[in-house]
Homo-oligomer: A and B are copies of this chain.
Amino acid sequence: MIDYDALLKISYGVYAVCSGNSKKGNGFISNSIMQITSDPVQVAVTCNKKNYSAEIIADSGMLAISVLPQNVSSDVISIFGYKSGREIDKLKRFNVRYGINDVPVLLSDAIATLECKVKETIDAGTHLIFLCEVLEANLLDSESDPITYDYYRKVKKGVSPANAPTYINPLKKQKTMEPTKYRCPICGYEYDDSEHDIPFEALDDDWGCPVCGATKDMFEKI
């Protein structure tokens, strides 16, 4: 038996992972990053195979991790976490520098950045694990605390979209629940119960639209 609430006791940070180069690049929000070895410094980064970034990382063999702070802007979360790079150019909206092998490195909000070369790609089913060597690591803000995934969920009222490794299908958790969709009247963002690990009705009252910030009570059932 799997109690999905047990999985929520695993701790993570929240990161923007950028890839590609100055001609074609993209970025996504990840919570599944960890250091694997210290000599050489290697990290593992997990990415859903369906993500546009999975293609870009495979093509370029490089990625850059930006550690986000507790006070990360909703712009960074909404654009990198809730928009697809197949539809919009995410990087041009933010402060980005191009580092080793022309990899884009998100500087907006970042408190630390790591430029990484992919050494091995492990197929884990729905997701890929990129085992990377860290070639460059910079601390940009020693004072700010990194945002943890727990803080993101509890304080920022964030949830995991269906592509995240930590996504919990609410239909698995509560088989009796009927999934429905809700639409933001301001920006058109749709919250589909079947694609989030918390059903809309169970979200806290002070939850807001991840794209435009509209309040929960403004959403319309569709």
Chain A residues with CB under 8 Å of chain B are 1-7, 9-13, 32-44, 46, 67, 111-114, 120, 122, 124-127, 129, 131, 134, 136-139, 142, 145-146, 148-150, 164-169
Contact = CB atoms under 8 A, between A and B. Distances in A.
A166 B13 contact: no
A150 B112 CA distance: 15
A6 B139 contact: yes
A5 B141 CA distance: 10
Given A34-B165, A38-B165, A169-B39, A122 B131 contact: yes
A129 B7 contact: no
Count identical subunits in the complex. 2
B125 A122 contact: no
A1 B136 contact: yes
Given A11-B12, A146-B11, A148-B148, A124 B6 contact: no
Given A34-B46, A36-B127, A165-B36, A13 B10 contact: yes
A169 B39 CA distance: 9
